[in-house]
Amino acid sequence: MLELEEVGFAAPEDPADEGSRVLTIVDGVSYTFEKGKFYGITGPNGGGKTSLAKLIMGINPATSGKITFEGEDITGLSITERARKGISYSFQNAARFKGITFRDLLSIAAGTDDEEKLTGIIARVGVCSMDFLDKPVDAKLSGGEIKKIELATTIARNPRIAIYDEPDTGIDLWTIGPMVDLLKREQQEYDTTTLVVSHNRAFLEVADVILLIRGGKIAYSGDFEGALPILSDLSVCGYGDTCEGESDAKCYR
């Protein structure tokens, strides 16, 4: 479905300095993502996992290699063009917009302002109150509320590929379980190829495939049980002690 062939991404250490050394962030990754599977992408901070996700979406331009989606070379396509082909991306820190309501954003994402369709979408993310649609997407929203808005706009078009970057950022522990259930349900009911970038064990446990990214390369690809010896050396999060450097996460020991 989605094939990466020797895909790489390099960038200057200091973009403002023409003489700055060039850093290799994603290093010649080759991998094929299968239709309808749930992929947990994890690894140490700075290892390249989010950069790889952004290459797939087109947020970062690949500096080498080829990306093929459903038989078509999309390496040179823009974010907008990839979105039209069915690839969506949910950011770690959702944007807030002064003067814009959730209804406005969702109508744009869904391509309709039909009340029944909008109601169906918000029901999928666990929002029952129609009043929520008319909330401004501003700084007054809680972390959980803004995350529900981000998820709703991501799934609004029933994407072929849905990419979620650290979806548990800024939410409480009690919200993580329902969010895992939501992403897994979307994957199964809509045959969505789902890529979740996360350190959180809850997401990794339900994944069909774990990809461990280290040093810009895929260090492991396989099931969760096979990944455990490697994950034990990383800050893989669950419901135990607070992770070092991860204020919103919990470490599994």
Residue in the structure block whose two tokens are 């309501």: 101
User: Higher model confidence: residue 129 or residue 104?
Assistant: 104
Under DSSP, is residue 142 helix (H, G, I), strand (E, B) or coil? coil
> What span, in angstroms and rounded, lies between the C-alpha atoms of 124 and 10?
38
> Which residues make Cβ contacts (< 8 Å) with residue 245, sequence separation at least 6?
45, 235
Please say if the pLDDT value at position 235 is more than 80: no
Residues 162 and 193: beta-carbon distance below 8 Å: yes
Measured from the Cβ of residue 220, the count of other Cβ atoms closer than 10 Å reads 16
* CA quadruple 39, 2, 217, 59: dihedral, nearest 10: -100
Mean pLDDT of 160-172: 88
> What span, in angstroms and rounded, lies between the C-alpha atoms of 12 and 6?
20
Q: What is the pLDDT of residues 67-94, one digit of tens each?
A: 999 999 999 999 999 999 999 999 887 7
Assigned CATH topology for domain 2-251:
Rossmann fold (3.40.50)
Residues 217 and 47: beta-carbon distance below 8 Å: no
Mean pLDDT of 109-113: 91
Going across the sheet that includes 209-214, the strands are 87-90, 161-165, 193-197, 38-42, 209-214, 217-222
Q: Full-prediction pTM beyond 0.75?
A: yes
Bridge partner list, 197: 41, 165
Residues 230 and 219: beta-carbon distance below 8 Å: yes
In DSSP notation, 208-224 reads SEEEEEETTEEEEEE-H
Both structure tokens of 155: 């799934």
Bridge partner list, 10: 24
How many residues can be counted in the chain?
Answer: 253
- C-alpha 180: how far from its chain's center? 13
pLDDT confidence of residue 148: 86
Per-residue confidence at 250, pLDDT binned at 50, 70, 90? very low
Q: What are the residue ranges spanned by the domains of the chain? A: 2-251
Please say if the pLDDT value at position 242 is more than 60: no
Under DSSP, is residue 238 helix (H, G, I), strand (E, B) or coil? strand
> What span, in angstroms and rounded, lies between the C-alpha atoms of 204 and 62?
26
pLDDT confidence of residue 237: 54
pLDDT confidence of residue 13: 82
